[in-house]
Amino acid sequence: MYNRSFGLRRNPFNMTPDPSFLFLTAQHREALVGLTYAIMQRKGFIVLTGEAGTGKTTLLARVLQFIPASQVQSSVILNPTLTPAEFLEMALLDFGVTNVPSSKAQRLWTLRNLLLKAREQGRVSALIIDEAHKLSREVLEEIRLLGNFEEADEKFLQIVLIGQNELDEALNREDLRQLKQRIAVRLSIAPLASPEVGQYIRHRWLRAGGNHPPFSSDAVSLIANASHGIPRLINGLCDNALTLAFGEGSSAVETRHVQASAVDLHLSTEPQPEEPAEPAAPMTQEIETVPDLEPYNGADPKASLWTKWRGRLRLTPRHETGDLS
């Protein structure tokens, strides 16, 4: 609606996980490189967790875009609310198996042959489960057993679990300790720090073809406060605020636009005015009344995975430039 008015080629605050808009903070860069390295080095089980809306699915899309198809075959499950039998069927279907056998034994045999063929071709096989915090205990146990496709020095199937922070809680359960022990790499991403929110907005604006973002500094501060640094909420607030500004014919997004958007999206932290109470009916008897995101400063307290892994990646992006260095 407002793209042409603000000189944009595309919507900068779309809700879809578009990897071309990925904003790489230090933690997102570390997760991106960590996922890529762990998959390509056949580490086995990999876990990525983060608050809802922090960009995990967008990060996954960028990883799959970055790794050449000649080096990896992947099966991506986006809706894991399945039975164990359905899960195995879905995994095979997304690996490209069109004629899935009816029995579990035949399905496992089909998967084993698929993994062995990829290994002979020098390709990595990755099973990636998004929204993994929704997996049932029975399916998690089935996934653990799929990790047994291996040799003494190599995992045939790389299994990536991506989910909200509840996934960490599930993996800490006593009855899932065997799965937890097999996790080789754990990664996490958190909401943006307040100073990063303005950088995020500017990054997406430029990627959409704009020049200088039309958000006042006070508007950006209010967006950071109302969104708590969660990118998905930032997108929603910015999109709604831009629509309001466009409707007014304004060339700038001010705090009033953001405040109205926050109220519309039920993100406002300010108390809403209450409706005036109806006057009480006269009483014949007197009644006694009764009185009534520390900002990121660039410092890293420990050697980051980015530092350890960046030199080991020598891949060519599948679509666009995308060099991680």
Q: What is the pLDDT of residue 322?
A: 44
Question: Which residues are paired to 189 by β-bridges?
Answer: 50
Residues 211, 142 share a domain: no
Instruction: Specify if 276 maps to a domain.
Output: no
Q: What is the pLDDT of residue 2?
A: 82
pLDDT higher than threshold 90 for residue 300:
no
Q: What is the pLDDT of residue 70?
A: 86
What average pLDDT does the segment 111-132 reach?
94
Residues 176, 38 share a domain: yes
Residues 174, 41 share a domain: yes
Higher pLDDT, 90 or 152: 90
pLDDT higher than threshold 60 for residue 287:
no
What average pLDDT does the segment 78-95 reach?
94
From residue 299, how far is each of 26, 81, 321 by CA, in Å? 10, 40, 28
What average pLDDT does the segment 244-258 reach?
91
- Of the listed ranges 59-63, 166-170, 247-251, 274-278, the one predicted with least confidence: 274-278
Residues 65, 170 share a domain: yes
Q: What is the pLDDT of residue 198?
A: 95
What average pLDDT does the segment 102-109 reach?
94
pLDDT higher than threshold 80 for residue 182:
yes
Residues 43, 183 share a domain: yes
Residue 4: pLDDT band by 50, 70, 90 thresholds? confident
Q: What is the pLDDT of residue 297?
A: 42
CB pairs under 8 A, 24+ apart, for 208-212? 208/3, 208/8, 208/9, 208/10, 208/11, 208/12, 208/21, 209/7, 209/8, 209/9, 209/10, 210/6, 210/7, 210/8, 210/12, 211/7
Report how many domains make up the chain.
Answer: 2
Q: What is the mean pLDDT of the chain?
A: 84
Residues 215, 153 share a domain: no
Q: What is the pLDDT of residue 313?
A: 53
Q: What is the pLDDT of residue 303?
A: 45
pLDDT higher than threshold 70 for residue 64:
yes
Q: Which domain holds residue 255?
A: 194-264
What average pLDDT does the segment 24-33 reach?
92
pLDDT higher than threshold 70 for residue 276:
no
Degrees, nearest 5: CA angle 109-100-160 = 70
- Of the listed ranges 30-39, 214-223, 270-279, the one predicted with least confidence: 270-279
Percent of the chain with pLDDT over 90: 70
Last residue of a domain, one of 145, 163, 191: 191
pLDDT higher than threshold 70 for residue 310:
no
- Of the listed ranges 29-33, 148-152, 281-285, the one predicted with least confidence: 281-285
Q: What is the pLDDT of residues 188-211, one digit of tens each?
A: 999 999 999 999 999 999 999 999
Residue 136 is part of a domain; what is its CATH number? 3.40.50.300
**Calpha distance 62→262 (Å, rounded):** 30
Q: Find, among 135, 57, 17, 120, the residue nearest to 48 by Cα.
A: 57
pLDDT higher than threshold 80 for residue 88:
yes
Burial of 20 by CB count in 10 Å (0-12 exposed, 13-18 middle, 19+ buried)?
Answer: middle
Residues 138, 104 share a domain: yes
Residue 66: pLDDT band by 50, 70, 90 thresholds? confident
Instruction: Specify if 282 maps to a domain.
Output: no
Q: Would you call 12 helix, strand, or coil by DSSP?
A: coil
